[in-house]
Amino acid sequence: MDLEVTVNGRVRADVAAGPHTSLLDWLRAQGLTAAKEGCAEGECGACAVLVARPDGEGRTRWTAINACLPSAAALDGQEIVTAEGLGTAPGACRAQDLHPVQREMAERGGSQCGYCTPGFVCSMAAEYYRPDRRAKVAAGATGTSAVGEDHAADDETGPNGFDLHALSGNLCRCTGYRPIRDAAFALAGPGAGDPLAERQGRPAPAVRSTDLSDATGRFVRPADLAELLERLAADPDALVVAGATDTGVERNIRHARPPLVLAVDRLPELRGLEVTEERIEIGAALTLSEVERALDGRVPLLAQLFPQFASRLIRNTATLGGNLGTGSPIGDSAPALLALDASLVLTGATGEREARLDEYFTGYRTTVRRPGEIIRAVRIPLPLAPATAFYKIAKRRFDDISSVAVAFALTTRDDGEVSGVRIGLGGVAATPVRARATEGALVGRRWTEETARSAAAVMAGEGTPMDDHRASSGYRSAMLEQSVLRFFAQTALEVAR
């Protein structure tokens, strides 16, 4: 079948598109060269584009994603806007033809060398059109505000409500970020007649079944879960892909070309979120950004995790199912979910079963999942522990792999005695693990500084901290120890009350 994608308002069909062609390469082959390849790993954001995604009943949200990671086949039937498509007259250089984001970047010197600028512009445009962004100052009628250089807001949120975390996945190394921040903080809301703003009031494109193949392999988007499980039963070695934030890197860097790829990111059976009195069930194919918006802080531990999980560009496509499905020891979601006592719903052709997350990992990148099984959902039991924290130690504050990740969930009695505690660790062993020795050193003791210091000494020996390019064994042990003391410092007064 032909690949068919709407790009900048024009339907583009391509019979020659292959199942392993990245969206970025496909766009550039179409002559749309604004998006660039910088890292080919989803870290620099030079390739960012906008995709129309569902946002509630009958509405669309413009979502920025890395074009270097998903295959073009994954966007079959979907709608994309590149930097060329933002202005009223794409390709023109006159100021009146520029999109407000482009104009502010140009006027405030935010383009620097220009290589990464189209990616910045697309990420900024997604934030510009964010439905719940609220300006703190009166906006002018031209689509920009008179905020100027005096920002009466914190360092990461502008007076116009612009959240700089939207740019956490866009890295430029030319000069400084100040002009880019100035451009972002000068933007008001979309003006009347803005075509992309008006587009948000209509439904996103319907999901389309896809079957694309050539000599290098085959890409299939099943119509429903039943078809997916049927195909997996026939070919258990097929690669199941959601956001492709991991498999896209394998394709780009290691030239991986699996014979069969099965896309699950738009399967409705994997995209629900249900809250009952007993539990929260999160669909495995919901993106992390979708989960974050839907929970809206209901699970404080996850609310701490999300801003530290890679970047907004990655969270707009990454899923819990994918992060856990790889079995990686450094996936940031696993420690938090271990602390939340989560379990996974595993589904295959023979039926469905539930597996506790602390029994799910069996070795380095190996799990209890059987051939032909997928993760359908993540279940978090209720009620939640009242005191929680997630700490990520990495070389960069955002958009980096953890050297150590630690999650705590603590419950105490009225007298301060620890009645229950779960501690999840990542990056310190061949698998994500529970810090069971430390948990044992805490339960039954009052949550005091003496108890915390005693438990911290035990924590230093949890897992098998290794030496690698991210951190030494000694550093990891020290960070594990310090995490307990930090958690005590943050929760001691709360527990005492």
pLDDT at position 467 is: 85
Is 124 inside any structural domain?
Answer: yes
- The residue type found at 338 is L
Q: Are residues 79 and 178 in the same domain?
A: yes
Q: Are residues 391 and 371 in the same domain?
A: no
CATH number, domain containing residue 275 = 3.30.465.10
Contacts of 217 (CB under 8 A, 6+ apart): 19, 20, 257, 258, 259, 260, 261
Is 301 inside any structural domain?
Answer: yes
Per-residue b or e along 427-465, where b marks 16 or more CB atoms closer than 10 Å to that residue's CB: bbbbbbbbbeebbebbeeeebeeebbebbbebbbebbeb
Is 237 inside any structural domain?
Answer: no
Task: Give me the residues paired with residue 346 across strands.
Answer: 353, 375
Contacts of 494 (CB under 8 A, 6+ apart): 386, 387
Percent of the residues in the chain that have a pLDDT greater than 70, as a whole number: 94
pLDDT at position 497 is: 62
Ranges in the chain, pLDDT < 70: 1, 88-96, 136-154, 175, 496-497
Q: Are residues 6 and 146 in the same domain?
A: yes
- Distance CA(473)–CA(478), nearest Å, equals 9
Write out the two tokens for 496: 């005492």
| Residue numbers of the domain that contains 175 | 1-206
Q: What is the three-class DSSP state of 225?
A: helix
Domain count of the chain?
A: 3
Is 478 inside any structural domain?
Answer: yes
Last residue of a domain, one of 159, 189, 206: 206
Q: Are residues 272 and 123 in the same domain?
A: no
CATH number, domain containing residue 123 = 3.10.20.30
Q: What is the 3-state secondary structure (H, E, C) of 405-422?
A: EEEEEEEECCCCEEEEEE
Whether residue 383 is preceded by a cis peptide bond, meaning omega within 30 degrees of 0, is yes
pLDDT at position 20 is: 97
Q: What Rg value do the Cα atoms of the chain yield, rounded? A: 23
pLDDT at position 112 is: 79
pLDDT at position 113 is: 87
- Distance CA(8)–CA(257), nearest Å, equals 29
Is 219 inside any structural domain?
Answer: no
Is 356 inside any structural domain?
Answer: yes
Nearest to 304 by CA among 391, 383, 384: 391
Q: Are residues 30 and 166 in the same domain?
A: yes
C-alpha count within 13 angstroms, C-beta hemisphere, residue 95: 6
Q: Are residues 295 and 273 in the same domain?
A: yes
Is 394 inside any structural domain?
Answer: yes
Q: Are residues 49 and 161 in the same domain?
A: yes
pLDDT at position 149 is: 38
Contacts of 48 (CB under 8 A, 6+ apart): 35, 64, 65, 66, 67, 118, 119, 120, 122, 123, 169, 170, 313
- To the question of pTM greater than 0.85 for the whole model, the response is yes
Nearest to 302 by CA among 313, 316, 288: 288
Q: Are residues 59 and 140 in the same domain?
A: yes
Last residue of a domain, one of 154, 171, 206: 206
Q: Are residues 393 and 370 in the same domain?
A: no
Q: Is 42 left (phi over 0), alpha (psi -120 to 50) or beta?
A: left
CATH number, domain containing residue 402 = 3.30.390.50
Could you give the C-alpha distances from 459 to 69, 226, 462, 475, in angstroms and in order?
A: 37, 45, 5, 13
In the chain, what are the helix, strand and coil shares in percent, each to the nearest 5?
30, 25, 45
Last residue of a domain, one of 206, 221, 243: 206
- Distance CA(252)–CA(414), nearest Å, equals 55
Nearest 10 degrees: Cα torsion 453, 458, 464, 470: 0
Q: Are residues 101 and 184 in the same domain?
A: yes
Helix (H) or strand (E) holding 279: strand 279-283
Q: Are residues 45 and 6 in the same domain?
A: yes
Task: Give me the residues paired with residue 262 across strands.
Answer: 220, 240
Q: Are residues 397 and 441 in the same domain?
A: yes
Is 435 inside any structural domain?
Answer: yes
Nearest to 197 by CA among 88, 76, 94: 88
